Amino acid sequence: MKDIIEDIVQESVRVKEQFVKESYNDLITLARKIASAFTSDRKLMLCGNGGSAADAQHIAAEFVNRLEMERPPLPAISLATDSSIITCIGNDYSFNDIFTKQVKAIGLEGDVLLAISTSGNSQNVISAAEAASEMGIYVAALTGCNGGKLKDVSDLSLIVPSERTARIQESHILAGHIICKLVDHILFQGGM
């Protein structure tokens, strides 16, 4: 059992280190894009399924409440949290539309959509990214594996170099914390 734990930790650390090394510039670019949206009275929308839905909620909460520093709340919303909207759309139309309809309802040109999919092939996330792009919303993908189809419909793709869902998700939440910390730095500590 101890060996299993050590193997998981070593693999997780290795994947995270490789991901961050390959993504420095993209993490900074995305943080600047989100900060710019916030200073232009726009918002960050996030979406994903399963564990990625939980990550979307978690990251949105860090912006609305705070990560570490005391600061005003920032406008971020997870599109994966309203069960009435999700089940209504899923029942009346299709599960593939659950995020797209929300993007069309509340999205504005100049917003940012952070689309999260470990495989990059979740059709409802891809559909939301496509709709957002058509509306002038900047789309950033947070994926794994080879980025899947999502990378092809996104303005920026942060791809975790792993095939293992658990390692990808661990890196996604690290990315979310890094992005939030960078946005806080840009907006409240004078860093660009």
Q: What is the mean pLDDT of each run of 10 residues along the chain (192 residues)?
A: 96 98 98 98 98 98 96 98 97 97 98 98 98 98 97 98 97 98 95 66
What does the alpha-carbon distance between residue 170 and residue 123 come to, in Å, rounded to a whole number? 22
Q: Note the pLDDT of residue 192.
A: 65
Q: Note the pLDDT of residue 187.
A: 97
What does the alpha-carbon distance between residue 192 and residue 174 come to, in Å, rounded to a whole number? 20
User: If residue 78 lies in a helix (H) or strand (E), which one and from where to where?
Assistant: strand 76-78
Residue 105's CB is within 10 A of a number of other CB atoms, namely 9
What does the alpha-carbon distance between residue 104 and residue 94 come to, in Å, rounded to a whole number? 15
Query: Fold for domain 2-188?
Result: Rossmann fold (3.40.50)
- Give this prediction's pTM: 0.96
What does the alpha-carbon distance between residue 64 and residue 29 come to, in Å, rounded to a whole number? 21
What does the alpha-carbon distance between residue 119 and residue 147 come to, in Å, rounded to a whole number? 7
Q: Note the pLDDT of residue 52.
A: 98
